Amino acid sequence: MSILVVGSVAFDSVETPHGKVDHCLGGAATYFALAASNFTPVRVIGVVGEDFMPRHEKVLTDRGIDTRGIEHAPGLSFHWTGSYVHSLNEAKTLGTDLNVFAAFEPKIPAEYRDSEYLFLANIDPVLQLRVRSEMPRVKLVCGDTMNYWIADHRENLLKVLHVLDVLLINDGEAKMLSGESNLLKAAAKVMELGPKMLVVKHGEYGATAFFCDRSFAGAKSISLPFRAPALPLAEVVDPTGAGDSFAGGFYGYLASQPELTPAVFRTAMFYGGVMGSFAVEQFGTERLQSVTRKEIEERFQLFRGISHLE
Amino acid sequence: MSILVVGSVAFDSVETPHGKVDHCLGGAATYFALAASNFTPVRVIGVVGEDFMPRHEKVLTDRGIDTRGIEHAPGLSFHWTGSYVHSLNEAKTLGTDLNVFAAFEPKIPAEYRDSEYLFLANIDPVLQLRVRSEMPRVKLVCGDTMNYWIADHRENLLKVLHVLDVLLINDGEAKMLSGESNLLKAAAKVMELGPKMLVVKHGEYGATAFFCDRSFAGAKSISLPFRAPALPLAEVVDPTGAGDSFAGGFYGYLASQPELTPAVFRTAMFYGGVMGSFAVEQFGTERLQSVTRKEIEERFQLFRGISHLE
């Protein structure tokens, strides 16, 4: 089934201990779409500027991604400059040039209206909410956010949380959003805000899925979460997009399945880790552009092998 | 098969957000022995002072632990004072009164000489090495250490690493010992120093086992480690002894098995997490004094349930 993703399509200039790239294709929706497209059809809504060339769009269309919802506006594309020179675990933002993204007004093309899965990547909660309300009949809604929206746009963000099925955030965001330092307590508080499922990403330590008490994925209680591993990697070339790629693997797998069972949610957590582990192997979206379904399946078995007793 | 453990038997005064205890029974060898005794016979070598009463010894003997190697010396027992008020992830040491432990000279009773498994808890590497050399015929040697020995007694510690089969440390110690911030690279460097297997504990995120290239546990390469989960707990009452209890569950299970196969090492990692999760539920050794084998098996199944796809 088709996923509709709304979010940033951008250019990144990144420095890591492995080198430097200038203006490579990036953005949350880009990483998400590339990762998810291995599992299911993906449609993108975003805005780009005049620096977004046919060769950039080809990166997406080559993987079967529907780009008809990417609006071309006068001016430059969103450009993020960051450094991981001091720590591969946290980006130091050196510059955020919103450019055409500052006036982003998501428009849903008619041919996208039958999408059954909606992914609201990390953008202004006001826009997330608007897109959500325009897609009332989707089967599942999953969203991401970040510390900036949690701290300074909390009221709007809370409205989004009310209409989300799945929220994907990292440890720091879960703690910030809940005011709790204990992961389990933080998860319980976050799910009181609306989401029926919460995925908390722990970087190199994997991710934990929490299910609320209500009937969702057959879960009875948040006291029995699910922990998926991350692959210990000797070389993390560029961590940019790891979280969005996790989301793409997770949500892409879900959308590819005929039924959402507890086993499907667990497997999706593993595919999230798998796609995140590919994303960081090369700069930018390079690795996601070349990865094959066979490699994905092999790595899935590797994830299973490093975490299962037999 | 019997485990011989050499390490501290002590008293702890601890403050956590859940309250305060004064002079409760503690020490690495105590936590290790209590955890391991659920799986296999355990013999302890340590030294205590005149404040160590029959009721304290009874805590150990009630669980079938052999305490004949605990020497009673004039003076007071080792006493540690610590606080977790600011963070449950890291103890703030407020006082370390070595007392009789300062002059500890481990003596191996004749009736301990046939022990097949040796655990060198976190003590001076000079003492670890001496005990190791006096037990040349043990089947497996496992050891722990801490930042203090890594920083200030490195040469002696390196001699210990040469004669260890398994080293159990935490993330920070692995990085300090290797000088590498990447976990996989750190593990490779640490194993070049001697250990055939390395267990790195990640606190609330579980633990990772690395196996060296040489023939050990059937492992072919350290690039395929094994990740065991930790149980997300809503209440961590007192983190003291969690690492030693992990070691006790891990090593106790190993020693209880007729053969050391890769599957046995994986299962041992889970039992390590299980015993660590019990230890932190109450102050001091309280929970380990009451835990039953049935509860341990139930929690093992819980660990499996939160980490396995089916």
Tens digit of pLDDT for each residue in A281-309? 999 999 999 999 999 999 999 999 999 99
Query: Contacts of residue A184 in chain B, CB cutoff 8 Å?
Result: 232-234
Distance from CA of A35 to the nearest CA of B (A): 21
> Which helix or strand (DSSP H or E) is residue A90 part of?
none
Confidence of residue B234 (pLDDT cuts 50, 70, 90): confident
Over residues B221-225, the mean pLDDT reads: 66
| B chain contacts of residue A234, beta-carbon cutoff 8 Å | 182, 184-185, 188, 223
Task: Taking residues B47-57, report their average pLDDT.
Answer: 98
Whole-number Å distance between alpha carbons of B304 and B200: 19
The confidence band for B213, taking pLDDT boundaries of 50, 70 and 90, is: low
- Of A170, A274, A308, A310, which to mutate for an interface test with B (greatest number of B Cβ within 10 Å)? A308
Q: Nearest residue on chain B to A235, judged by CA atoms? A: B182
The ipTM, to two decimals, is 0.91
Direct distance between the N- and C-terminal alpha carbons of chain A, in angstroms, rounded to an integer: 33
User: What is the model's pTM?
Assistant: 0.94
Out of B184, B227, B267, name the one closest to residue A233 (CB).
Answer: B184
* Distance between CA atoms of residues B160 and B242, nearest Å: 23
| Amino acid of residue A251 | Y
Give the DSSP per-residue string, A196-264: SEEEEE-GGG-EEEEE-SSSBTTB--TTS-EEE-----S--S--TTHHHHHHHHHHHHHHHSSS--HHH
CA dist A70 to A106, A208, B269, Å? 9, 32, 48
Closest CA to A209 of A255, A250, A260: A250
Q: Rounded distance, CA B205 to CA B216, Å?
A: 25
Of B110, B199, B88, B195, give the one whose Cα is nearest residue A183.
B88
pLDDT classification of B212: cutoffs 50, 70, 90: confident
Chain A residue closest to B184 (CA)? A234
Q: Are the C-beta atoms of residues A177 and A187 closer than 8 Å to each other?
A: no
B-chain residues near A235 (CB < 8 A): 182
The distance of B15 to chain A (nearest Cα, Å) reads 18
Contact B185 A224 (CB under 8 A): no
pLDDT of B90 reads 85
What was the pLDDT predicted at A87? 86
